[in-house]
Amino acid sequence: MAVIDEVKQVLGETLQLGDRAKQFTAETSLFGAIAEFDSMAVVTVVTALEERFGIFIEDDEIEADVFETVGSLAAFVDRKLAA
């Protein structure tokens, strides 16, 4: 499964979006565009991504541009996996 597909699955499960997450593309806006994705949800999503991918995300890595779109979040996870 591609990283972006796993990221979409994490978003869907964490934010309880049901089938909506399956329709997401790399260009789908996240923070500020999806009502369920607020500042509190960021912490939950980060934790879920860490558990799913076996990565550790530092507090200073949690920046707005990472959570701008599904694609930017997947690219961030990809970089963490490659590190």
Please give the average per-residue pLDDT across 26-51, as a whole number: 93
Q: What is the pTM of this model?
A: 0.93
- Return the pLDDT at 48: 98
- Is the model's pLDDT at 18 over the cut of 90? no
Q: For domain 3-82, which architecture applies? A: Orthogonal Bundle (1.10)
Q: In which residue are the tokens 């597909």 written?
A: 5
Q: Indicate the domain borders of the chain.
A: 3-82
- Of 53, 72, 50, the closest CA to residue 63 belongs to 72
What span, in angstroms and rounded, lies between the C-alpha atoms of 19 and 51?
22
Please give the average per-residue pLDDT across 14-19, as a whole number: 92
- Is the model's pLDDT at 32 over the cut of 90? no
- Is the model's pLDDT at 26 over the cut of 90? yes
- Is the model's pLDDT at 8 over the cut of 90? yes
